[in-house]
Amino acid sequence: MNWVVTGCRGQLGHALVALLEREGVPVRAADLEVDIADPAALAEFLAVSPRPQVVANAAAFTHVDRCEREPEAAARANHEGPAVLAKACREIGARLVHVSTDYVFPGDGSEPYAETDPTGPRSTYGRTKLAGEQVVQQTCEDALVVRTSWVFGRGRNFLAAILAQAASRRSGEAEGPLKVVDDQIGRPTYAVDLALGLYRLVEAEARGLYHLSSAGRASWWDLARFCLDEGGYPDLVVERIRTGDLELPAERPAWSVLDCSKAETLGIRMRPWQEAVRAYLHSEDSPLAKTTGGNP
């Protein structure tokens, strides 16, 4: 099948394009050069022969705090763009794969969130992403919508930031312990694994709403501590703090563990997040690769 991937320079988009190319799947990719919220520009891009049979939308405005400051931009990227894309896919008969987020949930649960559980986002990011996934499902009856969480991969991400802060302390450029919140619980997800999961869902002809994240659960503190231990900084102190201590513009869900059992019934089960972090640290995309060749 011919694929189109939007948001190809993001963590997931890059991983998905790389996977498709390795598998020998014809793929065309686009990022900011194609505004998916512009019907004319999108139609022109999709009209290039051969027309796609699968369109994977990895484009989104994911900076949670900026979404609070720029709600119109967030709505355009996370809601209006998917709406235009869904209509275009319906018109050309392409399957749409749309990626959403754990932030559509309120975060006040204690059991993993299933696809059927009530939503209740508490941030602009979460609200615009929920609106996007809803319009996709309303417009394309055969669309595949996949919610995921805490993605890390090539480029800017939480683990890269933690490693950069660790390096600055080891070099003497910065002092004191790192401070990481310990009252948000979720499922860290490696973009490479997520890309494979999406591909396998499409191969299985899955439709509707699915959750897909790495196995296990962790706080941001757990994730930072594990990353530093594996990355060569076991001696670096990481202080536990509360989310409220940071006074962030956007509210984060305290609990956003996704129940992925629906995907598992199709044989799609992702590895534990600890294994995924190790794989990332040993990959060419790891910040450690610049000095160690990817072998921390």
Quick: pLDDT tens for 141-185: 999 999 999 999 999 999 999 999 999 999 999 998 899 999 999
Structure tokens belonging to residue 243: 């989310």
pTM to 2 decimal places? 0.95
Beta-bridge partners for 241: 181
Q: What pLDDT is recorded for position 289?
A: 84
β 151-152/238-241 pair status: unpaired
Q: What pLDDT is recorded for position 1?
A: 86
The amino acid occupying position 289 is A
Does residue 233 have an active-site annotation?
no
Structure tokens belonging to residue 122: 């508490």
Q: Catalytic one among 113, 125, 190, 199? A: 125
Q: What pLDDT is recorded for position 245?
A: 94
Residue 120 confidence (pLDDT) above 60: yes
Q: What pLDDT is recorded for position 191?
A: 98
Segment 114-136 mean pLDDT = 98
Segment 186-192 mean pLDDT = 98
Domains and CATH numbers, the chain: 3-154+188-215+256-271 (3.40.50.720)
Segment 19-47 mean pLDDT = 94
Q: What is the mean pLDDT of the chain?
A: 95
Confidence at 292, pLDDT banded by 50, 70, 90: very low
Q: Model confidence over 83-92: pLDDT tens digits?
A: 999 999 999 9
Segment 234-246 mean pLDDT = 95
| Packing angle of the helix pair 220-230, 158-170 (nearest 10 deg) | 50
Q: How far apart are CA 264 and CA 102, in angstroms?
A: 18
Confidence at 32, pLDDT banded by 50, 70, 90: confident
Residues in the chain: 296
Phi, psi of 59 (to 5 degrees): -85, 140
**3-state SS, residue 181:** strand
Residue 100 confidence (pLDDT) above 70: yes
Segment 9-37 mean pLDDT = 95
Q: Model confidence over 4-13: pLDDT tens digits?
A: 999 999 999 9
Confidence at 49, pLDDT banded by 50, 70, 90: confident
Q: What pLDDT is recorded for position 124?
A: 98
Average the pLDDT over each of 50-54, 110-114, 208-212 and give the range with the smallest value. 50-54
Confidence at 291, pLDDT banded by 50, 70, 90: low
Segment 196-219 mean pLDDT = 98
Report cis status (omega within 30 of 0) of the bond before 71: no
Residue 265 confidence (pLDDT) above 90: yes
**3-state SS, residue 236:** coil
Q: What pLDDT is recorded for position 122?
A: 96
Segment 244-255 mean pLDDT = 95
Nearest CA among 286, 144, 163, 147 for reference residue 201? 144
Higher-confidence position of 294 and 278: 278
